[in-house]
Amino acid sequence: MNIITTVLVLTACCYHISADDKVRYDNFKVYRVVPKSNEAVEILRALEESDNVYDFWTEVKGVGHPVDIMVAPHLKYRFSDALAGSQFDVEEYISDVQKLIDNENPKAGRAVGLEWSSYHTLDEINQWLRDLASTYSQVSLIAAGRSYQGRDILGVKVSFKSGNQDRTVFIESNIHAREWISSAVSTYILNELLTSQDSNVRQIAESHDWIFVPIFNPDGFVYSHTTDRMWRKTRTPYSTCAGADPNRNWGYHFNEGGTSSSPCSETYRGPYAFSELSTNTLSEYIGTVAPQLRAYIAFHSYSQLLLLPYGYSAAHQDNYNDLYSVGVKAASSLAQRYNTRFQVGNIVEVLYVASGGSMDWVKGTFGTPITYTYELRDTGRYGFILPANQIIPSGQETLDSLVTILQEFDKIL
């Protein structure tokens, strides 16, 4: 998606943004639209495929399932005409996206290093990872991949004692650039594993090895900070638009539904599996540690879901029953602190078909037993622009659920 200041132009073929410009979303609105008939579903799908004239924050699933759509002010009446009639329930969910962006991330009084009362840049996160490796003997810095624009994809390995290598937990976040809460939560959890005195946290921390890669999509993440807060994809240039969806680009059941062939689409899969340098190099690194992986956990936002593989099929495969039953217990643990409710289920059944995802690739290629994708807070009132004051509560409740997942699987595996 490319936009010039206050005018939405989601087809990036037509306009250029200079390095000094920053996209604004003044008076952009987000509507929650519920289709009430199959015809209404098809109308929404046609809008979704219309070269990203509208930004679908959530994808179209079916009759009765809400869809969140961001609409530019100059398209308001066209959008109203498209949804005219009685086939839709339409509610304005966010009245001004820019106001949320302006209030999302407090900057004043930020301490040196990482803290979790505000969102951080790639440079700040990477420096924090380097500092951890120099401060804690249990932490070592890793280079997990490389991006199209030449950025290192950094992570850390945490190991409290020998003998845990076959109980390694891999944590992925920010594969989608605009989902800032995902890396904020993953770094919060990493910090807790190193510093918490809670007995349950210490138990899972010290009985597993850990690999954290907070920013899977560094080029897009940087762009979401410097230029376009709503940017989702990579920054690889294609014929008409920049970027592919890095969570539709993995080589397991690639291009088997829930993707787009248009480079201007938010779900553009790329010209071929692993076309993105970031996914290609990350897959190579994951392959080197895959024999030791006990768990692969991916963090996304938003919708408050705990998702199980697979994204290409609704079929219940592998150890679905164990994943589901433990997932339900984890969702219950997550809800205890702040009453935040998560739904548990297969990606296709709960959301939609989404082939070519990282979790599918890890599960399908290596048979990793514990595989979950979190769609973190909230359910749409803030969407991707979750205020920074929700980072710590979200991190706390997510860690509660992760404790449950690992402790419950200790009884199974």
**Secondary element (H or E) of residue 29:** strand 29-35
Which has the closest alpha carbon to 170: 278, 299, 301, 280? 299
Decide the pairing of beta strands 168-173 and 209-213: parallel
Are the C-beta atoms of residues 192 and 395 closer than 8 Å to each other? yes
Query: How many alpha carbons fall within 13 Å on the CB side of residue 9?
Result: 15
3-state secondary structure of 103: helix
DSSP 8-state assignment for residue 211: E
180: left (phi over 0), alpha (psi -120 to 50) or beta: alpha
375 is catalytic: yes
Rounded CA gap, 176 and 217, in Å? 7
Are the C-beta atoms of residues 132 and 156 closer than 8 Å to each other? yes
Tell me, rounded to whole angstroms, the distance of Cα 287 from its chain centroid. 21
Of the listed 104, 375, 397, 408, which one is catalytic? 375
Which has the closest alpha carbon to 409: 360, 358, 371? 371
- DSSP assignment of 375-386, as one string? EES-SSSSTT--
Rounded CA gap, 80 and 61, in Å? 21
Residue 361: Cβ-neighbour burial (10 angstroms; 0-12, 13-18, 19+): buried
Rounded CA gap, 85 and 66, in Å? 17
CA torsion sign for 41, 180, 283, 278 is positive
**Secondary element (H or E) of residue 76:** helix 76-82
The catalytic site residues sit at 375
